[in-house]
Amino acid sequence: MASANTTSGLEKFGEKEKALLMALQYNFPLSEEPYFDLSDFTELKVDYIFEKTRDFLKKGVIKRIGAQLNYKAFREIGFAALVGARVNSEDITKVTQIINSYHPKHNYLRDDERYNVWFTIKERTPERLKGLVEKIMEECSVSDYVYLPSKRVYKMDVKYDLFRGVSYSEAGIENSSVPKVEEVGVNANLLLDLERNFKVEKRPFKKIAQNYGLGEGELISLIGELIELRIIRGFYAVLKERKIGFIENAMNMVEPEEKARTAKVALKLLESIPEITHLVEREIDEKWRYPLYFMVHASSKEPIEEIRDRALKIPGVNSIKTLYSLKDLKEEDRDPDYR
């Protein structure tokens, strides 16, 4: 059944559509007329680019186009944690609704034999973050869970290679520290507009720039500077994975041979496996022995398992626990027909 869904998901796109979606992800121009420049780059007619891009947005194939912001630059949500909870099957619907009421970034049902519900949540301080997780778990009547705060983000770049059927990007290492928006004198609302309100039109930067008293060129230069600082991770289209046939995603939990070598293992993973979308080191407790995790998305399990086998050969890796997503609980909670 999964294979049939995979085929229909990827094969419903023609070569021109794939080329456009790839360019919107990997080669989006930072220029005054980016869609015209995209036409030059892809040799696709600009009218086709406007029409198809708007259609992809309307149908949910593209979630949004714009700035990919680094949450660490915002004081309100500067700290994050991954939480794995042990939830009885009969309680999953209730627990899902409670967790989703706190607006987690992600919330998945995964195939771990003990911790089956996994969500990420953010807060202003480490203390508030821990308190929030304790509150959520108490409301859910869950006593068995692992709390894994982020220690270091090495990579966060979600792009999908539609020709290979697997996630892929060559983003470099994340900065270990990121300046706060206020420290660089940038209006946080400007960044949110660039993330949420970037239009498919001839000069999409123009109105946003005018709203903040900037010229188009000035705004585009600023975006480039913020990308260098990693306040903005990139500027491109974000695709909805199940709409493009990427029906598998796996959280690979890495146990190093020595905890002290975690950073070295992370750097080797980053260097060797460009299919990784997320690579994060986390603080662990006595219930959990995997301080490092990476995500891979694909149209089937085969490339994910091949990538895991490659990762196991990296010096310093002792074991890898791979947890596949069974359901996107955020999506299912919004859409009762989600499969």
Q: What is the DSSP string of 4-61?
A: HHHHHHHHTS-HHHHHHHHHHHH----SSSHHHHHHHHHT--HHHHHHHHHHHHHHTS
Q: How far apart are CA 68 and CA 131, in angstroms?
A: 28
What pLDDT score does 259 carry?
86
Q: How far apart are CA 278 and CA 114, in angstroms?
A: 23
Closest alpha carbon to 145 in 78, 82, 79: 82
Torsion sign over Cα 42, 166, 264, 288 = positive
Please classify residue 119 by burial: count the beta carbons closer than 10 Å to its beta carbon, then call 0-12 exposed, 13-18 middle and 19+ buried. Answer: buried
Q: How far apart are CA 173 and CA 215, in angstroms?
A: 31
What pLDDT score does 283 carry?
97
What contacts 22, CB < 8 A, 6 or more positions away?
161, 162, 163
Residue count (the chain)? 339
User: Which stretches of the chain are assigned E, i.e. beta strand?
Assistant: 62-69, 79-85, 106-110, 117-123, 145-156, 160-161, 166-167, 232-239, 248-256, 278-282, 292-298, 317-328
Torsion sign over Cα 271, 275, 278, 282 = negative
Q: Give the tokens for residue 86.
A: 């042990």
What pLDDT score does 9 carry?
75
CB 76 within 8 A of CB 140: no
Q: How far apart are CA 17 and CA 274, in angstroms?
A: 23
> What are the sequence ranges of the domains in the chain?
15-65+178-242
Averaged in consecutive runs of 10 residues, what is the pLDDT profile of the chain (339 residues)? 46 94 98 98 98 98 97 86 98 98 97 97 95 99 98 96 96 90 95 97 98 98 97 97 96 94 96 98 94 98 98 97 97 49
Torsion sign over Cα 339, 83, 281, 320 = negative
Q: Give the tokens for residue 186.
A: 């940038």
What pLDDT score does 78 carry?
81
Q: What is the pTM of this model?
A: 0.91
What pLDDT score does 4 carry?
36
Residue whose structure tokens are 């041979």: 257
Q: What is the CATH number of domain 15-65+178-242?
A: 1.10.10.2890
Exposure of 128 in the CB half-sphere (CA atoms within 13 A): 11
